[in-house]
Structure 1
């Protein structure tokens, strides 16, 4: 019989390879530290890859500086995205998540999104007046008011949709059983993992959307529920193979560009979106870190603001402003390009982190004193209205 985790009571999953007693406990600071590192990698990716900067770097002659900018500063973006999502979903797979739980998570997410979208909208008006933001003010105002619905940031919108679907996804994928789940995972890996390494072979997964998270969920859930845990050696092999593929691709595309002067954009192909080597590196890193546990309050507090770093630095106007003043061409052509690039990425990361830690403090003093109470009140009112309606219908049917 398939080893399916079908019964969850009191935080305990009855069956499953990586599941068991899951009481509430202090967060593992090794994972929280990885969360911070993942966001730092995402900032680096956005810095080098964003706008025309990725193409500018690609057009430069091959050199050690170019290697560092592309293979170190830029390559970690989708590794970070995959790790960030894995951390989120890993601990939800052994819980009895309900639609109400998901809606509450979305409510809490929306509060942070609205805080930063509206706060940064004020900054955007100033940047627009100074000519530092050239986008449509009408569009960004609407997106700031409805950040999830109008997709101000792709990741929060996709993640909110994933949370909405997650209780049904878990129930449906569990019902498949181990054998069918394995076939589904293999199909996903072949289509969007192996074959997508060939340029133009996208198989309809062409945009950053909730379907990327569903694809990742299928793979992570199969490992979590059915597979034997990877050994430390296997994790390092996963990372090594992923890095070797990326390095080979980088060398080939740069050599082709050096010889022909064409296909500069192909240099960033392997670093972009949900490429399998990046997933391999990210999953290997996560598994290595997940089995090492320590506790540090400072790291946990800082990690709670990691998502805020994403919201601040990647808000369209803020992103346009800081990449203009601290652009890659300026740093790359400086006397110390590697150091200046690193200082820019780290500086932006910590500036945004400190800003969101202030937001954390404001929330702790105000709306987080009774976290989620607003949602519970709305839900209670909805339940009361539904109950009265059912009573009225029952009375009419007598």
Structure 2
């Protein structure tokens, strides 16, 4: 196999990097600070609009990652599945170790993060992802990975019309019963394999059949993304200011039609940029580690409480500066640590003949 054939599309690998940066951002906004309250919106509307806008921009991150999997199609292999679980557990163990070590310095630092130490039993549960909050994305994605041969078989064997009809009916069902009121639980506001299946099939359909809206100039993709951000921000602002909590909540669900459409426009824009970069590809190969490092349950407590403390004690300039530095530090650290994980995994895979599975 030639190096050219092995080279990944750097435009889409760059999208993978951007998506992970947006994951850091979305967790630094509402997840850390909480959504603006009605009082905050009325007293400081400009800051509230900025925060709502940031949430609208970054909420697409999870969907984009799943759409990327659908864009290329998952090729189910036992080595890949075991490698994904190894990576998740590697960072789970690392998170437990770092947080238990950090707790020893709490008194010295004068900071009480709370909830970052763990007993052996709770540490085991965290590493094994027993609780919902422990790497929910990994568990939903692992099931998507397991189901991918079935999904791929359907994509390959169905007609264009049948595939299109299935997608339309799927999203009608999701938007009607799984989105605004969430009257069925298996969509879980987009935090589920069921929602991932819809995104996966949507990306496969667009990649294979290239519908007319996917062929527009990339400038129109950007325009669509901006318009959708403005609409989401406006709806959320109105929902909070008027006390319409259902409207606000629905705006930022992962299975919201606005969020899905914005995610798709974002992906289509990057799909029309053509370049190759070994540096981008190398960084992107460890992008998922960024999620794994900072969302390990105890690390996530440190991450969100640190940002919350800065928000409450620093002025806007220093809060923004500190947060940006933290985001990039977490990203760089995760990528560097993941290179160690890759080295270890290659040795383990070679030792147990995983490559022959």
Give the aligned partner of residue 79 of structure 1.
Answer: 60
Task: State the TM-score, normalizing by the size of structure 2.
Answer: 0.82
The partner residue of 1:281 within 252, 262, 267 is 262
CA deviation vs aligned residue, 1:266-306 (integer Å, no higher than 9, x gap): 43531232212122122122122123221223222222222
8 Å contact kept, 2:180–2:250: no
Residue 117 of structure 1, CA deviation: 0.7
For residue 147 of structure 2, what is the aligned residue in structure 1? 165
Is structure 2 residue 321 aligned with structure 1 residue 343? yes
Compared with structure 1, are the counterparts of its residues 197 and 107 closer, same or farther at alpha carbon in structure 2 (3 Å cutoff)?
closer
CA contact (8 A) 1:103 1:164 kept: no
Matches of 1:217 and 1:167 in 2, distance apart?
Answer: 12
State the TM-score, normalized to the length of structure 1.
0.74
Whether 2:130 is the aligned partner of 1:153: answer no
Aligned-pair distance for 1:221? Answer: 2.2
Show the counterpart of 2:200: 217
> Does the Cα contact within 8 Å between 1:32 and 1:303 map onto a contact in 2?
yes
Q: Are 1:187 and 2:174 counterparts?
A: no
Structure 1 Cα separation of the partners of residues 343 and 62 of structure 2: 31
2:67 aligned with 1:89, yes or no? no
The equivalent residue for 1:294 is 275
Q: Distance in 2 between matches of 1:211 and 1:142?
A: 27
Quick one: which of 335, 340, 344 aligns to 1:362? 340
1:137 is paired with a residue whose SS is coil
2:34 corresponds to 1:54: yes
Structural RMSD (CA): 3.4
In the aligned structure 2, how far is the partner of 1:47 from the partner of 1:344? 11
Greater Cα radius of gyration, structure 1 or 2: 1
Distance in 2 of aligned mates of 1:353 and 1:198? 33
Q: Label 1:38 to 1:168 Cα distance change in 2 as closer, same or farther (>3 A).
A: same
Corresponding residue of 2:99: 124
Superposed displacement of residue 224, structure 1: 2.5
Distance in 1 separating the partners of 2:224 and 2:184: 22
Residue segments in structure 2 that go unaligned for 5+ positions in a row: 107-111
Q: Is the 8 A contact 2:56 2:232 kept in 1?
A: no
> Do the aligned residues in 1 keep the contact of 2:63 with 2:254 (CA within 8 Å)?
no
Aligned partner of 2:6 in structure 1 is: 25
- Structure 1 pair 58/202, CA: closer, same or farther in 2 (3 Å)? farther
Aligned residues: 347
